[in-house]
Structure 1
């Protein structure tokens, strides 16, 4: 019974609708496509006419609808069908959770599902928008037009771009040149060209490069007409290399070589420029056929060397910055483009500088004196030591010859000792001036580094910057008084220090030695002293001769024996009765004495020669 009542109600509703359709408003004209109603139609005919008056839909079709209600899960939209269509509420919820749809809103929707029997219509607003985008993409592609989009993210090989649909922008098509930082393009809006699309595969490929190339080609012709030698133009830094900067002058690239960037020193162009910088440059040369343009930036300002003579006269003091160090000196920047060289020899009056880093460091501001200027060769010679007085000019007044000074040993070499005086001046004590008497093979046998010693100033050579000192000169020369301590004929004792084939060396006191020649050892023939004596043995001898100038003392053991013999004979003669000697005996005695005297002279001469050889 309920079904029958419901059906009667529907028939009543349909009848009212048909009645309304039979009597159109006076202002409105009846649709030509609508069937004409005469009033004689049966109920079934009227129902057929009503059904035919409703719109016919196909799945995938895009139509316009009006929102009639907004529910919790769906939105009801009137699209002119007997049943309202439904759209999921999720299509209207934004990122913050707000529902962005209202009753009576009108927009396009796509028929997703249309079941006439069940009178079910499912709609989608989002898909309708995509269909419209695809239609727009087709039109733009066919018309060779452009489309605007936002790069949303980086993907493998390029970017993802939102143009209403997600499209792919290859990295090679993003710009005219390789992009170093691709992240900088994300979230940026650009205009693109559609290279190709496939709706079934949902694939769209874009390009920004073709548009930039078109703009560049248009600019190129204009720029080529404007370029001329000597002209100053504005450009954009396009690329940076170690040898220079490539500048886009407007479709034409020019090279700004590193040597033409500045009159001063440039280690790498990246220190001064960044990609995208706008700079002014001067056209140095232009090859129209090869489209090669050489640019200059330093040429926009005068060459500083043209005024260097007036700014930096010889002997003037200057202040500059240390910009570079080499093995032979330091380069000082006086101003941008003007550098001078301080040679290591001009860094100190007294110190031997092996490397300029001992005196200056890169970046340090120093004061120097102009020694020489050659603007044609772009060279300035500078000196640091000239900023102070030369200590060698006053050293002789401060320390005259004969002055006793005190200082520490700074260095020890095989030939002497270097003593620190003052103002970095070192004095040299030669090994021969360490001791009057000791035979020193190396100064380290007697002294060590940092020992404090006293020495006498022997000589100052300002021209060659040499300061000579002596340690032994602080005491008297013992050889000057040796003849007083060791008289000729005196009997002395000493220790054997050396044995040679030609004699025996005997130390009489520290540093004083005498020589007993082999001929003065014994009356008997001695072939080698080593057969009779040992080093360290104490012996007694007689002083035969002294040569203080040559520092030699001649000794004789044999003479002591002869003296003993003479004494024995003398004592013997005293105890004997006197006897008369014949003339022949007296003559033989005189001849024997003369022979002995000649032997002594020859022995002394040989002693002197052998001593010379020993010292050598």
Structure 2
């Protein structure tokens, strides 16, 4: 693979004015696969062309366009001069033609080597590998960056790493620290505050502009150089957006109908309860899904789409037709023109399944105060991203509120607050003086839809600078906060689990404090959630946190209650025989 360093390979020669991030002009010379190609860069100072390599992941900022660009655009237009940047210097000089990266290099400077990386700086990169514990990102000149899971801007537990990020995706990262030992950067993709000239490059409307320009260019390449029924349709239909046709529904997939047009080409349209599988529906084509090679249709248009665009026109209101992965399509009510509304907030969230802004079909949107972006070249309109103001109330610690139980678990109650936020009341925060004699489970004491008054004691699983997550609150029915414990205190704890290795007992003493009872200090068997009296023997602090060593025996109990035993024999691995006596001295 071009660019991969192997044993015995030498670095490719470079011109005197070579630097990582320099914007260059280049042409394609060899294109034998969809994974990489070879090109030439001609400089003013050297007559001999400089050989460069381009891999598929650097053909486009958008993953779904990369293979198509290699197959359609780059292989068919070898003589065309293109913009690019020097990305890395290995056995080949690797370049990138990602448009956002090129624009970044026109406005800022890339680090040339690991020693040039500065903590706190924002650097563009390309996602290289995706794991459960984080992302590996390729920075300029083979500088490796690692983004741990905690530094990824994921939508709670609803969104996994694989659903938000793609290999080959362009991202912006902030360098948090430099790992000199492993020679890599530790970076964050969470809540990056852009500044200076690069602010525009990550904004949703600019990213969507780059995406649509590239998408319509690829469709034009399919029209000119492609073969088959799809290319023939684009060639014969000058204005395919707004084309009226019929679609035969073949199946339903989630909120979409999947079918075929009269010419056999695949199409999809939003689900409508008035229709079913086997129906033939008349509608208008409003978009084309490049990865799936599928037309997007709507049945909500009352009249044909108006194609003429005035660069100075504004709009008052629009109606949502459908929502796709990264943007929604709508029709203006006054001029009947098709518009695009981004549903992501920045470049890093382009592939996020948990959209920052979501729309419903036939929803009315007021856009009178928004200045649209109008592309006369590709004839499309974008309404810039408008982040919705949160209507979620932020509760303060120690505030008393009313909550409703939505789930009863062995060790906690899951509750819902009045504004829709969720919370939990841990078992240690439910009882002031629990009974250790009569065990009652939480299911015996509480039920779903029951109302309680509880006190806010904190939040969990949420960042303070989060923009779009609802807080998950920790609550308590106690009037006061948990008290501090000292060695020798006799307290009540709630049984959590048995330690698999030592067979000791783990107890919850409070919401964030646990205690451990070694096997030799266990006096009785317990069930999860059952409480017991415990005596604190020791306090332990290590890298896993703080906990107490406990005993279930009372150190202050009277001598008359103690029974002494002298070992006699072993009957089996689980049976020991003793001689029982109340005397300390055995004869």
TM-score by length of 2: 0.29
Greater Cα radius of gyration, structure 1 or 2: 1
TM-score by length of 1: 0.28
